[in-house]
Structure 1
Amino acid sequence: MSALIREFDAHCLFCKIAAGQIPSKIVYQDDELFVFHDIHPWAPVHFLMIPKLHIPSMAQLGPEHAGLMGRMMVLAPQLALQQGCSPYPDGGFRMLSNTGAEGRQEVQHLHVHVMGGPRPWLRG
Protein backbone atom coordinates (compact mmCIF):
# COMPACT_ATOMS: atom_id res chain seq x y z
CA MET A 1 0.00 0.00 0.00
CA SER A 2 1.26 3.47 -0.91
CA ALA A 3 2.42 5.72 1.92
CA LEU A 4 -0.43 8.11 1.00
CA ILE A 5 -3.07 5.36 1.19
CA ARG A 6 -3.91 4.16 4.69
CA GLU A 7 -6.79 2.68 6.63
CA PHE A 8 -7.54 5.95 8.45
CA ASP A 9 -6.09 9.46 8.48
CA ALA A 10 -6.75 11.19 11.81
CA HIS A 11 -6.52 14.61 10.09
CA CYS A 12 -8.97 13.79 7.29
CA LEU A 13 -12.50 15.19 7.49
CA PHE A 14 -13.99 12.35 5.43
CA CYS A 15 -12.20 9.65 7.42
CA LYS A 16 -13.72 11.16 10.57
CA ILE A 17 -17.19 11.26 8.96
CA ALA A 18 -16.93 7.61 7.84
CA ALA A 19 -15.79 6.61 11.35
CA GLY A 20 -18.79 8.35 12.92
CA GLN A 21 -16.62 10.94 14.69
CA ILE A 22 -18.41 13.75 12.82
CA PRO A 23 -22.18 13.49 12.27
CA SER A 24 -23.54 13.05 8.76
CA LYS A 25 -26.78 12.15 7.07
CA ILE A 26 -25.98 8.64 5.88
CA VAL A 27 -27.29 7.37 2.55
CA TYR A 28 -25.50 4.00 2.52
CA GLN A 29 -22.57 2.18 4.06
CA ASP A 30 -20.88 -1.20 3.98
CA ASP A 31 -17.41 -2.54 4.82
CA GLU A 32 -15.72 -0.56 2.01
CA LEU A 33 -17.95 2.40 1.15
CA PHE A 34 -19.59 5.28 2.96
CA VAL A 35 -22.19 7.49 1.27
CA PHE A 36 -23.61 10.66 2.82
CA HIS A 37 -25.47 13.84 1.92
CA ASP A 38 -23.42 16.91 1.01
CA ILE A 39 -23.78 19.65 3.66
CA HIS A 40 -23.77 22.33 0.93
CA PRO A 41 -25.84 20.72 -1.85
CA TRP A 42 -25.69 22.05 -5.40
CA ALA A 43 -28.81 20.12 -6.45
CA PRO A 44 -32.01 18.69 -4.93
CA VAL A 45 -30.19 15.33 -4.74
CA HIS A 46 -26.51 15.66 -3.79
CA PHE A 47 -24.54 13.02 -1.98
CA LEU A 48 -20.91 11.96 -1.73
CA MET A 49 -19.53 8.45 -2.19
CA ILE A 50 -16.21 7.70 -0.48
CA PRO A 51 -14.12 4.63 0.14
CA LYS A 52 -13.59 3.99 3.84
CA LEU A 53 -9.93 3.42 2.98
CA HIS A 54 -8.10 6.76 2.96
CA ILE A 55 -7.16 7.27 -0.69
CA PRO A 56 -6.24 10.94 -1.20
CA SER A 57 -7.53 11.26 -4.78
CA MET A 58 -8.14 9.53 -8.12
CA ALA A 59 -4.43 10.09 -8.83
CA GLN A 60 -3.47 7.43 -6.24
CA LEU A 61 -5.73 4.69 -7.62
CA GLY A 62 -4.06 1.51 -8.79
CA PRO A 63 -5.23 -1.74 -10.37
CA GLU A 64 -5.96 -3.08 -6.88
CA HIS A 65 -8.76 -0.48 -6.55
CA ALA A 66 -10.64 -1.50 -9.73
CA GLY A 67 -13.18 -3.60 -7.81
CA LEU A 68 -13.84 -0.84 -5.29
CA MET A 69 -14.34 1.80 -7.98
CA GLY A 70 -16.51 -0.58 -10.00
CA ARG A 71 -18.75 -1.11 -6.99
CA MET A 72 -19.08 2.66 -6.57
CA MET A 73 -20.08 3.11 -10.22
CA VAL A 74 -22.68 0.33 -10.04
CA LEU A 75 -24.09 1.60 -6.73
CA ALA A 76 -24.37 5.25 -7.81
CA PRO A 77 -27.42 4.87 -10.11
CA GLN A 78 -29.25 2.75 -7.54
CA LEU A 79 -28.69 5.32 -4.79
CA ALA A 80 -29.51 8.23 -7.13
CA LEU A 81 -32.94 6.72 -7.82
CA GLN A 82 -33.52 5.96 -4.12
CA GLN A 83 -32.64 9.55 -3.22
CA GLY A 84 -35.09 11.08 -5.69
CA CYS A 85 -33.50 11.31 -9.12
CA SER A 86 -35.84 10.54 -11.99
CA PRO A 87 -35.02 7.48 -14.11
CA TYR A 88 -32.98 7.54 -17.30
CA PRO A 89 -33.37 8.74 -20.06
CA ASP A 90 -35.57 11.72 -19.15
CA GLY A 91 -34.15 12.00 -15.64
CA GLY A 92 -30.64 11.12 -14.62
CA PHE A 93 -27.83 12.50 -12.51
CA ARG A 94 -24.34 13.94 -12.72
CA MET A 95 -21.20 12.43 -11.21
CA LEU A 96 -18.12 14.52 -10.48
CA SER A 97 -14.78 13.79 -8.86
CA ASN A 98 -12.32 16.64 -8.47
CA THR A 99 -8.66 15.62 -8.40
CA GLY A 100 -5.78 17.75 -7.13
CA ALA A 101 -5.42 21.51 -6.79
CA GLU A 102 -5.98 22.26 -10.47
CA GLY A 103 -9.03 19.97 -10.42
CA ARG A 104 -10.43 22.01 -7.50
CA GLN A 105 -10.30 19.15 -4.97
CA GLU A 106 -10.98 20.60 -1.52
CA VAL A 107 -10.91 17.51 0.72
CA GLN A 108 -7.92 15.22 0.15
CA HIS A 109 -9.91 11.99 0.31
CA LEU A 110 -11.22 10.41 -2.87
CA HIS A 111 -14.90 11.26 -3.25
CA VAL A 112 -17.49 11.21 -5.99
CA HIS A 113 -20.34 13.72 -5.98
CA VAL A 114 -23.67 12.41 -7.26
CA MET A 115 -26.09 15.22 -8.13
CA GLY A 116 -29.52 15.26 -9.71
CA GLY A 117 -33.13 16.23 -9.44
CA PRO A 118 -35.32 18.83 -11.11
CA ARG A 119 -33.47 21.78 -12.63
CA PRO A 120 -32.49 24.65 -12.56
CA TRP A 121 -29.48 23.71 -10.50
CA LEU A 122 -26.80 24.18 -13.14
CA ARG A 123 -23.54 24.94 -11.42
CA GLY A 124 -19.86 24.07 -11.74
Structure 2
Amino acid sequence: MTDAPPPYTGSDFYCDVAIPDPGALEVVHHDERVLAFHHTRPFWETHVVVVPTRHLPSLTETSAQDEEDLLALLTVFREVARQVEREHGAAAVLTNLGAYQDSKHLHVHIHAGPRRR
Protein backbone atom coordinates (compact mmCIF):
# COMPACT_ATOMS: atom_id res chain seq x y z
CA MET A 1 0.00 0.00 0.00
CA THR A 2 1.40 3.42 -0.95
CA ASP A 3 0.78 6.61 0.90
CA ALA A 4 -1.14 9.32 -0.93
CA PRO A 5 0.76 12.54 -1.46
CA PRO A 6 -0.04 15.28 1.03
CA PRO A 7 -2.68 17.79 -0.14
CA TYR A 8 -1.31 20.78 -2.03
CA THR A 9 -1.21 23.89 0.19
CA GLY A 10 0.45 26.49 -2.05
CA SER A 11 -1.22 29.31 -3.96
CA ASP A 12 -0.52 28.27 -7.59
CA PHE A 13 -1.00 24.56 -8.24
CA TYR A 14 -0.53 25.08 -11.97
CA CYS A 15 2.93 26.74 -11.83
CA ASP A 16 4.08 24.64 -8.88
CA VAL A 17 2.81 21.17 -9.87
CA ALA A 18 0.89 20.75 -13.15
CA ILE A 19 2.98 22.69 -15.68
CA PRO A 20 6.38 21.42 -14.48
CA ASP A 21 5.19 17.77 -14.53
CA PRO A 22 2.42 17.18 -17.11
CA GLY A 23 3.45 13.51 -17.24
CA ALA A 24 1.82 13.05 -13.84
CA LEU A 25 -1.52 14.23 -15.27
CA GLU A 26 -4.15 12.82 -17.62
CA VAL A 27 -3.36 15.33 -20.37
CA VAL A 28 -5.92 16.32 -23.01
CA HIS A 29 -3.73 18.93 -24.75
CA HIS A 30 -0.23 20.28 -24.21
CA ASP A 31 1.77 22.76 -26.24
CA GLU A 32 4.10 25.67 -25.50
CA ARG A 33 1.22 27.99 -24.49
CA VAL A 34 -1.57 25.81 -23.06
CA LEU A 35 -2.01 22.72 -20.89
CA ALA A 36 -5.38 20.96 -20.61
CA PHE A 37 -5.87 17.96 -18.33
CA HIS A 38 -8.46 16.05 -16.37
CA HIS A 39 -8.82 17.67 -12.96
CA THR A 40 -6.83 15.87 -10.27
CA ARG A 41 -9.76 16.13 -7.83
CA PRO A 42 -12.82 16.35 -10.12
CA PHE A 43 -16.04 17.95 -8.96
CA TRP A 44 -18.03 16.58 -11.92
CA GLU A 45 -18.10 13.28 -13.80
CA THR A 46 -16.11 14.93 -16.61
CA HIS A 47 -13.90 17.80 -15.43
CA VAL A 48 -11.09 19.24 -17.53
CA VAL A 49 -8.93 22.23 -16.59
CA VAL A 50 -7.27 24.42 -19.23
CA VAL A 51 -4.42 26.74 -18.22
CA PRO A 52 -1.91 28.97 -19.97
CA THR A 53 1.62 27.68 -19.40
CA ARG A 54 2.83 31.23 -18.74
CA HIS A 55 1.71 32.56 -15.38
CA LEU A 56 -1.32 34.83 -15.68
CA PRO A 57 -2.91 35.53 -12.28
CA SER A 58 -6.56 35.66 -13.45
CA LEU A 59 -8.79 36.66 -16.33
CA THR A 60 -9.27 40.16 -14.93
CA GLU A 61 -5.54 40.65 -14.44
CA THR A 62 -4.57 40.35 -18.10
CA SER A 63 -3.49 43.05 -20.52
CA ALA A 64 -2.74 43.57 -24.22
CA GLN A 65 0.66 41.87 -23.75
CA ASP A 66 -1.20 38.64 -22.87
CA GLU A 67 -3.28 38.50 -26.07
CA GLU A 68 -1.37 35.63 -27.70
CA ASP A 69 -1.67 33.49 -24.58
CA LEU A 70 -5.36 34.34 -24.20
CA LEU A 71 -6.08 33.50 -27.83
CA ALA A 72 -4.27 30.18 -27.45
CA LEU A 73 -6.22 29.48 -24.24
CA LEU A 74 -9.53 30.33 -25.92
CA THR A 75 -8.72 28.13 -28.90
CA VAL A 76 -7.91 25.12 -26.73
CA PHE A 77 -10.80 25.46 -24.33
CA ARG A 78 -13.20 25.90 -27.25
CA GLU A 79 -11.94 22.64 -28.78
CA VAL A 80 -12.02 20.75 -25.48
CA ALA A 81 -15.51 22.11 -24.69
CA ARG A 82 -16.68 21.10 -28.18
CA GLN A 83 -15.43 17.55 -27.60
CA VAL A 84 -17.02 17.32 -24.13
CA GLU A 85 -20.31 18.64 -25.56
CA ARG A 86 -20.20 16.05 -28.37
CA GLU A 87 -19.52 13.21 -25.93
CA HIS A 88 -22.04 14.23 -23.25
CA GLY A 89 -24.61 16.35 -25.06
CA ALA A 90 -23.75 19.37 -22.90
CA ALA A 91 -20.83 21.16 -21.29
CA ALA A 92 -20.29 24.07 -18.94
CA VAL A 93 -17.31 26.42 -18.97
CA LEU A 94 -16.31 28.56 -16.00
CA THR A 95 -13.46 30.46 -14.43
CA ASN A 96 -13.19 31.84 -10.93
CA LEU A 97 -12.03 35.29 -9.82
CA GLY A 98 -10.88 36.88 -6.58
CA ALA A 99 -11.67 34.95 -3.42
CA TYR A 100 -13.39 32.24 -5.50
CA GLN A 101 -10.07 31.43 -7.17
CA ASP A 102 -8.23 28.83 -5.03
CA SER A 103 -5.22 28.68 -7.34
CA LYS A 104 -3.99 32.12 -8.33
CA HIS A 105 -3.33 31.23 -11.97
CA LEU A 106 -5.84 31.79 -14.77
CA HIS A 107 -7.62 28.52 -15.45
CA VAL A 108 -10.84 27.47 -17.11
CA HIS A 109 -12.96 24.51 -16.00
CA ILE A 110 -14.92 22.52 -18.58
CA HIS A 111 -17.35 20.05 -17.10
CA ALA A 112 -20.27 17.77 -17.82
CA GLY A 113 -22.28 15.16 -15.99
CA PRO A 114 -23.34 14.92 -12.37
CA ARG A 115 -21.44 16.52 -9.53
CA ARG A 116 -19.12 14.03 -7.81
CA ARG A 117 -18.90 15.70 -4.40
TM range (shorter): 0.7 to 0.9
Aligned length: 107
The alignment yields a C-alpha RMSD, in angstroms, of 2.9
Deviation per CA, 1:54-95, whole angstroms, max 9, x where unpaired?
11111220012223222222222322344xx243xx923111
Q: What secondary structure does 1:44 align onto? A: strand
TM-score by length of 2: 0.74
Is the helix fraction higher in 1 or 2? 2
- 2:74 & 2:55 partners in 1: Cα distance? 18
Work out whether residues 52 and 106 of structure 2, in 8 Å CA contact, stay in contact via their aligned partners in 1: yes
Percent identity between matched residues is 25
Shift of the 113–21 alpha-carbon distance from structure 1 to 2, 3 Å rule, reads closer
Is the strand fraction higher in 1 or 2? 2
- 1:20 & 1:64 partners in 2: Cα distance? 26
- Runs of at least 5 residues in structure 1 that lack an aligned partner in the other structure: 1-9
- 1:21 & 1:94 partners in 2: Cα distance? 24
- Runs of at least 5 residues in structure 2 that lack an aligned partner in the other structure: 1-9
Question: Any runs of at least 4 consecutive aligned residues in structure 1 with deviations exceeding 3 A, and if so which?
Answer: 119-123
